[in-house]
DNA sequence: TTTGAAACTGTTTAGAG
DNA sequence: CTCTAAACAGTTTCAAA
């Protein structure tokens, strides 16, 4: 049950930073029982190794004028690899896109988007999904509630 | 198209912190053309108002021994409100749970989880979902790829 | 790799506009 | 609500182990 060259201290640093990405180096050092300089070196190493990919503010999209969220199940219409790649490449850049999941099963992609109004959402689907030749079908589900996992909180959805 | 009492500067601060949650106050101030002290006040206010909910490290779960991710579509078996509430309350605390979406449509919940091995995933589903009296059906889709939105990057999946 | 201590940089407070 | 400036805290480097 090990974890690719991470020791106890590394895992604790990761855990703490996943909970509070702005925890000061000092505090991290004390919490893990190492010197601040050592702590700095380790956190840098974790970033360089890609264990920590970045730090992000968790923003309330509603406060930013995007109170609606949806998950859109997308089926690709058996086309060329090129067309699929194009779709995959364009989607993350579309306005309001939070995440794109490529999944196994009946659907090919699951798209998590934010929108300002039902109309904006509808336009998003029509303009960018339905209209795309790679897309065979798109089924939109509104998100009533979105709760993060309580434990380590090891991701950024 | 406004955003609940946020001015231009606030929105820019939020945008920058969503991209880099560790951007120094100095740099934020310069980037937005205000004094560091003012910047500090504003960022604090954004946190207090809940516009910024927190700061988190974005962690590579694979590096932490959880290389598998899945989305599990869950249908609730038309039970009492209490039972649904209990389900809703327990899930975020289950091991490996990243996010729980309550959605409209054929499925009631969409659960985003991480696991170490296919077996661990199977056990998770059997022990915590299939076995739960509130759950009528659970359909697991493996996540092949998960891409974040490129724009503001305004969330933390 | 680790560290303590110095040098430095960024943060925070306070006081005034 | 904003700013400048001073006080403070945290970060980072570096030489040594």
pLDDT tens-digit profile of B22-63?
999 999 999 999 999 999 999 999 999 999 999 999 999 999
Distance from CA of B134 to the nearest CA of A (A): 18
* Nearest protein residue to nucleotide C10, judged by CA and C1' positions: B26
The whole-number pLDDT of residue A143 equals 98
Same domain, A22 and A44: yes
The whole-number pLDDT of residue B3 equals 53
Q: Say whether residue A35 is in contact with chain B using an 8 A CB cutoff.
A: no
Same domain, A116 and A66: yes
Residue B122 pLDDT exceeds 60 = yes
The total domain count for chain A is 2
* Nearest protein residue to nucleotide C14, judged by CA and C1' positions: B37
- Determine, yes or no, domain membership for A156: no
* Angle, in degrees to the nearest 10, between helices A8-19 and A36-48: 80
Residue B150 pLDDT exceeds 90 = no
Same domain, A71 and A98: yes
| Backbone dihedral region for residue A21 (phi beyond 0: left; psi -120 to 50: alpha; all else: beta) | alpha
Nearest residue of chain B to residue A103 (CA atoms): B143
Same domain, A39 and A103: no
Structure tokens of A103?
């999944």
Indicate which CATH number applies to the domain containing B19. 1.10.10.10
State the Rg of chain B over Cα. 20
Task: Give the domain extent around A10.
Answer: 3-48
Residue B13 pLDDT exceeds 50 = yes
pLDDT-derived band at A79 (thresholds 50, 70, 90) equals confident
Same domain, A35 and A92: no
pLDDT tens-digit profile of A80-103?
899 999 999 999 999 999 999 999
Spacing of B45 CA from C17 C1' in Å: 22
Residue A139 pLDDT exceeds 80 = yes
Same domain, B68 and B132: yes
pLDDT tens-digit profile of A42-70?
999 999 999 999 999 999 999 999 999 99
- Determine, yes or no, domain membership for A129: yes
Q: Is the dihedral of CA A104, A106, A108, A113 positive or negative?
A: negative
Strand D-contacting residues in B 18-77, CB cut-off 7 angstroms? 34-38, 41-42
- Determine, yes or no, domain membership for A152: no
pLDDT tens-digit profile of B57-105?
999 999 999 999 999 999 999 678 999 999 999 999 999 999 999 999 9
The whole-number pLDDT of residue B155 equals 44
The whole-number pLDDT of residue A154 equals 52
Instruction: Please name the residue that has the structure tokens 């995933």.
Output: B121
Residue A151 pLDDT exceeds 80 = no
- Determine, yes or no, domain membership for A55: no
- Cα separation, A87 vs A84, in Å, equals 5
The whole-number pLDDT of residue A152 equals 55
B155 vs A137, residue with greater confidence: A137
The whole-number pLDDT of residue A5 equals 82
- Determine, yes or no, domain membership for B138: yes
pLDDT-derived band at A119 (thresholds 50, 70, 90) equals very high
Residue A37 pLDDT exceeds 70 = yes
Which range is least confidently modeled, A29-38, A69-78, B57-66, B146-155? B146-155
Cα end-to-end span (Å), chain B: 25
Same domain, A44 and A87: no
The whole-number pLDDT of residue A53 equals 96
pLDDT-derived band at A14 (thresholds 50, 70, 90) equals very high
- Determine, yes or no, domain membership for B84: yes
The whole-number pLDDT of residue B102 equals 98
The whole-number pLDDT of residue B154 equals 53
Residue A3 pLDDT exceeds 60 = no
Structure tokens of B112?
């985003």
- CB–CB of B143 and A101 under 8 A? yes
């Amino acid at each position: 049950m090990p974890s690719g060259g991470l020791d106890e201290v590394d895992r604790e640093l990761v855990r703490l930073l996943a909970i509070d990405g702005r925890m000061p180096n000092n505090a991290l050092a004390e919490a893990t029982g190492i010197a601040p300089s050592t702590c700095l070196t380790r956190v840098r190493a974790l970033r360089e190794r890609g264990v920590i990919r970045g730090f992000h503010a968790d923003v309330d999209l509603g406060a930013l004028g995007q109170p609606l969220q949806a998950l859109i199940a997308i089926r690709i219409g058996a086309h060329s690899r090129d067309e699929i790649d194009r779709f995959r490449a364009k989607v993350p850049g579309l306005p309001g896109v939070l995440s794109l999941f490529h999944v196994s099963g009946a659907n090919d992609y699951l798209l998590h988007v934010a929108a300002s109004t039902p109309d904006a959402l509808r336009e998003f689907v029509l303009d960018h999904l339905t209209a795309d030749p790679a897309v065979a079908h798109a089924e939109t589900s509104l998100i009533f509630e979105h709760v993060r996992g309580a434990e380590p909180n090891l991701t950024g959805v």
